[in-house]
């Protein structure tokens, strides 16, 4: 068997994790690239000095994480592009963190949204502005309904922020932002429901209108405060 030259032998401690680390390092160093076929289980076991069962388990984990894919009759390949399954471990890691997850999550959310806005401002187009205007018009119409629909407003809210993320044209930022959006989903939905029940739909709309005007005029001052105003965190867990 011809050795690859880029995989390092592993020690006896945490063998499966060591195999994962070895393959990951090869990907980071671009010795294994998206679309490349990796060596067979037998070849990996021999080169790394480990058992085939450990190799098989490591491959299963990397397949679950969306890093590798098994093509029947062809072999195992490095995935090309982002897989939605990659989000799950990140979400569980944050959920299981012993720290005060709410405060940490709010800080992460604010940092992400401000960064997304800054990126969007550099690349915003007239078409982007029209798309945002369309969402704002729908938001305004919803809050004027009797009674206003929280589900419909929440949908438009998500679309509004998705457009801003799309403006940045950075798939890595988009994917990380998706994780934050998933983690804050129930909190954001509860906030919209409570704001509408309290008759504060106009405030909810105006907070998004302010974001739109900042993007349109490329205003960077007080961006953090403007983003924070869209949260209405004081009503997120209020019993209404």
Q: How many CB atoms lie within 10 A of CB 125?
A: 9
* Of 208 and 185, the one with more pLDDT: 208
pLDDT at position 64 over 90: no
What pLDDT band is residue 238 in, cutting at 50, 70 and 90? low
**Span 99-109, pLDDT tens digits:** 566 777 788 88
Q: Which residue, chain included where needed, has tokens 């709309």?
A: 205
**The pLDDT of residue 57:** 92
Q: Which candidate, 87, 58, 64, 47, places its Cα nearest to that of 177? A: 87
**The pLDDT of residue 228:** 87
- Determine phi and psi for 168, rounding to 5 degrees: -70, -20
**Percent of all residues in the chain with a pLDDT value above 90, rounded to a whole number:** 55
What would the mean pLDDT of 18-46 be, rounded to a whole number? 92
Question: In whole angstroms, what is the distance from residue 215 CA to residue 210 CA?
Answer: 9
- Determine phi and psi for 213, rounding to 5 degrees: -65, -35
pLDDT at position 89 over 90: no
57 close to 68: Cβ distance less than 8 angstroms = no
112 close to 180: Cβ distance less than 8 angstroms = yes
pLDDT at position 13 over 60: no
pLDDT at position 12 over 60: no
CATH architecture of 15-81: Orthogonal Bundle (1.10)
What would the mean pLDDT of 41-49 be, rounded to a whole number? 92
What would the mean pLDDT of 71-85 be, rounded to a whole number? 84
Q: Which residue, chain included where needed, has tokens 């989000």?
A: 87
* Of 34 and 183, the one with more pLDDT: 34
Kindly tell me the burial class for residue 172, based on how many C-beta atoms sit within 10 Å of its own C-beta (0-12, 13-18, 19 or more).
exposed
**Span 146-176, pLDDT tens digits:** 999 999 999 999 999 999 999 999 988 888 8
| Per-position b or e across 213-228, b if 16+ CB within 10 A of its CB | ebbeeeeeeebeebbb
- Residues in CB range of 116: below 8 A, 6 or more apart: 164, 165, 168, 173, 177
Question: In whole angstroms, what is the distance from residue 192 CA to residue 110 CA?
Answer: 18
What would the mean pLDDT of 124-136 be, rounded to a whole number? 95
35, 36, 41, 43 alpha-carbon torsion, rounded to 10° = 180
Mean per-residue pLDDT of the chain: 87
Domain spanning 86-235: CATH 1.20.120.530: yes
Q: How many CB atoms lie within 10 A of CB 30?
A: 10
What would the mean pLDDT of 216-222 be, rounded to a whole number? 92
Structure tokens at 94: 């944050």
pTM above 0.95, yes or no: no
pLDDT at position 76 over 80: yes
Q: Tell me the C-alpha to C-alpha distance, in Å, between residue 201 and each of 140, 170, 215.
A: 9, 32, 22
Which sequence spans correspond to the domains of the chain? Answer: 15-81, 86-235
């Amino acid at each position: 068997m011809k050795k690859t030259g880029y995989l390092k032998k592993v020690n006896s401690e945490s063998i499966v994790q060591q195999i994962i680390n070895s393959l990951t390092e090869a990907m980071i160093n671009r010795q294994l690239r998206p679309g490349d076929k990796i060596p067979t289980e037998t070849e990996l076991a021999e080169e790394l000095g480990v058992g085939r069962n450990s190799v098989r388990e490591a491959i299963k984990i990397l397949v679950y994480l969306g890093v590798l894919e098994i093509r029947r009759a062809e072999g195992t390949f490095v995935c090309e592009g982002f897989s939605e399954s990659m989000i799950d471990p990140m979400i569980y890691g944050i959920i299981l963190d012993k720290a005060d997850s709410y405060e940490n999550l709010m800080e992460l959310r604010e940092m992400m949204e401000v960064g997304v806005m800054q990126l969007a401002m550099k690349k915003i187009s007239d078409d982007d502005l029209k798309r945002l205007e369309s969402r704002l018009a729908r938001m305004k119409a919803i809050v004027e309904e009797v009674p206003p629909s929280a589900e419909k407003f929440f949908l438009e809210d998500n679309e509004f922020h998705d457009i801003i993320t799309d403006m940045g044209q950075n798939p890595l930022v988009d994917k990380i932002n998706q994780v934050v959006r998933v983690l804050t989903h129930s909190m954001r939905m509860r906030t919209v429901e409570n704001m509408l029940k309290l008759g504060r739909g106009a405030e909810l709309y105006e907070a998004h209108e302010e974001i739109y005007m900042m993007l349109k005029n490329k205003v960077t001052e007080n961006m953090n405060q403007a983003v924070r105003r869209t949260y209405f965190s004081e009503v997120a867990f209020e019993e209404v």
